[in-house]
Amino acid sequence: MPEVFGRRLTACMLFMAWAWLVCPDRAVSQGVSEPSSGEGPRLGVGLDLLVADPVGEFARRVDQAFGLEVAGWVPLDEREFVSLRGEFGFLVYGYETRRVCVGGTCRVQADLETSNHIVSGGLGPELGLSRGRVRLYTHALLGFAYFSTSSSLKDSQEGRAVFTTENFGDGTFCWGVGGGVRVRLSAGRVPVGLNLGARYHRNGVMEYLTEGDIQDNPDGSITLYPNRSEANYLTFRLGVTLGVPLGGHPSEG
């Protein structure tokens, strides 16, 4: 597992260095100019696909996790060197499903689905440097993480949940540090960009369930076998960004 971390982090760093060195020259050759100063700072909004690799004790109990994250950042100065960043993310690190009988008879059956997931969010500063179409950034955040396992009884034909129950949950305050690169793909009033980044999430000691940690007993009750360990992980992200001008259209004349 450490080798995987090293390869991914190295790939991220190499891409950032390549983008920083090459993209400004391409932007000039293609006649793409930076937004004029009259447009002012932009509110950034991003949607990322996440891949999470557990580290330490967490890696011995959980494989990779996958999810989505929505983020936004507001510049605090005209040059957009310092921004305030906020985000909300969702990861699934385990999933299992099986057919069950409903109402004491197998004439009626449904799918019993159990998922292990992490909901997280936070606020913190972001520092960035722009050159041409490329922006390198680093950020830190303080926030929360909630580990939860839920089971749902789903209609096998329509695929909708009929009943949902949270089997186990544990929350904590957390912090994280990370960075990445954003490459502007289009100009205009609301430019579109590509984001590539990585972050370390420090959650500390948590209690959580993994696949197989819920035992169904003959009398209909269940027995839980929660794990207790540090639950830290790395996330790698790929997504799109939008830059929304603040303060409306620049004045004419």
Provide the residue ranges of all domains of the chain, joining segments of one domain with +: 2-29+43-242
Per-residue pLDDT tens over the stretch 86-97? 999 999 999 999
* Predicted TM-score (pTM) above 0.85: no
Return the higher-pLDDT residue of 28 and 222.
222
Contacts of 117 (CB under 8 A, 6+ apart): 67, 90, 91, 92, 93, 147, 148, 149, 150
Taking a C-beta distance cutoff of 8 angstroms, is the pair 93, 118 a contact? yes
Res 3 pLDDT > 50: no
pLDDT per residue as tens digits for the range 38-87: 456 789 999 999 999 999 999 999 999 999 999 999 999 888 899 999 99
What's residue 39's pLDDT?
A: 58
pLDDT value of position 201: 96
Residue 36 has pLDDT above 50, yes or no: no
- Dist. CA 64–CA 53, nearest whole Å: 5
* The pLDDT of residue 219: 86
CA distance 198 to 94: 21
Query: Which residues, listed in sequence order, are joined to residue 148 by a DSSP beta bridge?
Result: 117, 169
The CATH number given to 2-29+43-242 is: 2.40.160.20
Q: Does the structure show a pLDDT above 90 at 189? A: no
- Which spans in the chain are helix H? 2-29
Query: Under 8 Å CB-to-CB from 114, ≥6 apart: which residues?
Result: 95, 96, 97, 149, 150, 151, 152, 167, 211, 214
Tell me the Cα Rg of the chain: 22
| Band of residue 245 on the pLDDT scale cut at 50, 70, 90 | confident
What is the structure's pLDDT at 173?
96
pLDDT of residue 208: 97
Instruction: Give dist(CA 207, CA 218) in Å, integer.
Output: 26
Q: Which of 198, 75, 175 is nearest to 127 (CA)?
A: 75
Amino acid at 176: G
Q: Which residue has the higher pLDDT, 119 or 32?
A: 119
What distance in Å separates the CA atoms of residue 47 and residue 85, rounded to the nearest whole number?
A: 13
pLDDT tier at 13 (50, 70, 90 boundaries)?
low
Q: Which of 50, 58, 6, 68 is nearest to 203 (CA)?
A: 58
For the segment 103-138, what is each residue's pLDDT rounded down to a tens digit? 777 877 888 899 999 999 999 999 999 888 899 999
Q: Give the residue carrying structure tokens 């930076």.
A: 34
| Distance in angstroms between the alpha carbons of the first and the last residue of the chain | 60
29 pLDDT band, cuts 50/70/90, is: very low
Residue 247's pLDDT band (cuts 50, 70, 90): low
Question: Which amino acid would we find at residue 120?
Answer: S
Q: What is residue 104's three-state secondary structure?
A: coil
Q: What is the pLDDT of residues 138-186, one digit of tens each?
A: 999 999 999 999 999 887 666 666 788 999 999 999 999 999 999 999 8
